[in-house]
């Protein structure tokens, strides 16, 4: 069951971005599982991919095709086409060939993406057979169907859409994401697709996306597992009346902030839908020497099964958080300087139980659906945030039954 408000938003059309869906029956027949995205000829496209060494065949193909000014995305759910060797590569290329033939374009203009079970061959015949319908269904106002077509164990479709004003011109940013388990993106099973009508070069768009992803999708974790298929794509159709965005300008600064907001909202939606999640936990690490150290401490807490199960039980067992901080591998950590809070309740002060702490106060916070954990290291002036969720009985059930 998802945590908090997870209503799908009103999705603004991004001029020059067309989306079509169809059902190929790859794993199920209840909803569409294939998505065709087509970009205006003036569009630019940026992407980041998983750092898992066993990256999926579509990731390898997409990385190569990204250098060829792509104009199409092809996404399927239900099968990851990962751990499939040379045949997987052939199938990924074949899917690009099939879309390119229908679009009367080159195969290298297509970026393929897959999500689902690992180690099984992609049913390429089913995928190819569904493409004509997806092509016929292409339209600009099809974001809701697109969000549903990329889902696997997700319990709700994830979307973001907003219009902003830059230098007196309207700019639209709309995006979707999927993911609920095997989540510890490290670029980034998660996928994210964001589109804007702004005009921006591929090089500048790539820089913008890389910055946004580092502070959003790379700051979430459900279970500490980095998928073989993680990817995030940012498309810019160039159809806004705003002049081309250039580095070191106020317009670029505002655009970067907007892409950051979109990425953070889509990333948070993934954590709210963490497999079996009942709580959203935001871990803030402050007064660190640098960002890497802060993220290291935050993720050590976020990945601890003991911490996560305590949150599920609403048990204010703060010793588990203290222990996680202590084993995070921080060099020359002075425990006497550490303070830890649950929301505004101080649980640890000067490395020990805070004199003001009461079990009643801790319990009140732990009973909440959304909880902030703040760790003050007393070593510097850098802060970072990581989002995670609890571990419930359902997490084990969902993953134990994943292939059945």
The answer to whether residue 7 sits within a structural domain is no
Q: Domain of 329: which CATH number?
A: 3.10.20.340
Distance (Å, whole) CA 340 – CA 324: 12
The answer to whether residue 97 sits within a structural domain is yes
The answer to whether residue 374 sits within a structural domain is yes
Q: Do 255 and 306 lie in a common domain?
A: no
Distance (Å, whole) CA 302 – CA 296: 10
Which amino acids are annotated catalytic?
189
Q: Which has the closest alpha carbon to 388: 306, 328, 299?
A: 299
The answer to whether residue 124 sits within a structural domain is yes
Residue that finishes a domain, picked among 272, 302, 328: 272
Q: Do 110 and 247 lie in a common domain?
A: yes
Q: Do 130 and 236 lie in a common domain?
A: yes
Q: Domain of 258: which CATH number?
A: 3.60.70.12
Cα angle, residue 118 at apex, residues 262 and 21 outer, rounded to 5°: 50
Q: Do 220 and 93 lie in a common domain?
A: yes
Q: Do 236 and 315 lie in a common domain?
A: no
Q: Do 268 and 300 lie in a common domain?
A: no
Q: Do 310 and 251 lie in a common domain?
A: no
Q: Do 74 and 21 lie in a common domain?
A: yes
Strand-by-strand arrangement of the 231-236 sheet: 44-49, 231-236, 191-196, 169-178, 158-166
Cβ distance 270 to 359 under 8 Å?
no
Q: Do 44 and 187 lie in a common domain?
A: yes
Scanning 163-317, the segments in alpha helix (DSSP H) are 202-214, 250-272, 291-303, 305-312
Residue that finishes a domain, picked among 241, 272, 303: 272
Q: Is the pTM of this model over 0.95?
A: no
SS (H, E, C) 126-157: HHHHHHHHHHHCCECCCHHHHHHHCCCCCCCC
| Residue 55 belongs to domain spanning | 17-272
Residue that finishes a domain, picked among 272, 290, 312: 272
The answer to whether residue 285 sits within a structural domain is yes
Residue partners of 86: CB distance under 8 A and separation at least 6: none
Tokens 């002075």 map to which residue? 334
The answer to whether residue 4 sits within a structural domain is no
Q: What is the pLDDT along the chain (404 residues), one digit of tens a residue?
A: 688 888 999 999 999 999 999 999 999 999 999 999 999 999 999 999 988 888 999 999 999 999 999 999 999 999 999 999 999 999 999 999 999 999 999 999 999 999 998 999 999 999 999 999 999 999 999 999 999 999 988 999 999 999 999 999 999 999 999 987 665 555 445 799 999 999 999 999 999 999 999 999 989 887 776 677 889 999 999 999 999 999 999 999 999 999 999 999 999 999 998 888 899 999 999 999 999 999 999 999 999 999 999 999 999 999 999 999 999 999 999 999 999 999 999 999 998 999 999 999 999 999 999 999 999 999 999 999 999 999 999 888 877 887 76
Q: Do 312 and 233 lie in a common domain?
A: no
Return left, alpha or beta for 123; rule: phi > 0 is left, psi -120 to 50 is alpha, else beta.
beta
Q: How many domains does the chain fold into?
A: 2
Cβ distance 402 to 280 under 8 Å?
no
Q: Do 154 and 32 lie in a common domain?
A: yes
Tokens found for residue 367: 């009973």
């Amino acid at each position: 069951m998802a945590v908090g408000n997870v209503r799908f938003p009103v999705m603004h059309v991004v001029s020059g971005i067309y989306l079509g869906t169809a059902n190929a029956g790859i794993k199920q027949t209840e909803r569409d599982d294939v998505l065709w995205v087509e970009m205006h000829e003036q569009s630019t496209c940026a992407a980041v991919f998983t750092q898992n060494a066993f990256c999926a065949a579509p990731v390898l193909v997409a990385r190569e095709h990204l250098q060829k000014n792509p104009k199409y995305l092809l996404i399927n759910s239900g099968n990851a086409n990962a751990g499939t060797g040379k045949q997987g590569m052939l199938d990924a290329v074949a899917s690009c060939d099939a879309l390119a033939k229908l679009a009367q374009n080159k195969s290298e203009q297509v970026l393929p993406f897959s999500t689902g079970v690992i180690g099984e061959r992609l049913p390429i015949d089913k995928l190819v057979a569904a493409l004509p319908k997806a092509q016929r269904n292409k339209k600009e106002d099809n974001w809701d169907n697109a969000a549903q077509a990329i889902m696997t164990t997700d319990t709700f479709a994830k979307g973001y859409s907003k219009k902003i004003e830059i230098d007196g011109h309207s700019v639209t940013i709309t995006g979707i994401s999927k993911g609920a388990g095997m989540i510890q993106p490290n670029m980034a099973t998660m996928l994210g697709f964001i589109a804007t009508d702004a005009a921006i070069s591929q090089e500048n768009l790539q820089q913008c996306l890389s910055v946004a992803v580092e502070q959003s999708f790379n700051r979430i974790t459900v279970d500490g597992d980095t998928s073989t298929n993680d990817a995030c794509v940012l498309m810019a159709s160039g159809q806004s009346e705003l002049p081309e965005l250039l580095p070191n300008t106020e317009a670029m600064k505002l655009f970067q902030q907007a892409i950051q907001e979109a990425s953070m909202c889509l990333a948070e939606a993934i954590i709210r839908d963490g497999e079996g999640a009942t709580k959203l936990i935001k871990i803030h690490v402050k007064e660190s020497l640098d960002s890497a150290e802060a993220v290291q401490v935050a993720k050590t807490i976020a990945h601890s099964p003991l911490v996560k199960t305590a949150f599920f039980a609403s048990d204010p067992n703060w010793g588990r958080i203290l222990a996680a901080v202590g084993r995070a591998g921080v060099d020359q950590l002075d425990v006497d300087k550490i303070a830890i809070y649950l929301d505004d309740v101080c649980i640890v002060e000067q490395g020990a139980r805070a004199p003001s702490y009461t079990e009643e106060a801790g319990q009140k916070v732990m009973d909440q659906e959304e909880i902030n954990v703040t760790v003050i290291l007393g070593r510097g002036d850098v802060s970072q945030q990581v989002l995670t969720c609890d571990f419930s009985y359902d997490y084990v059930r969902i993953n134990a039954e994943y292939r059945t």
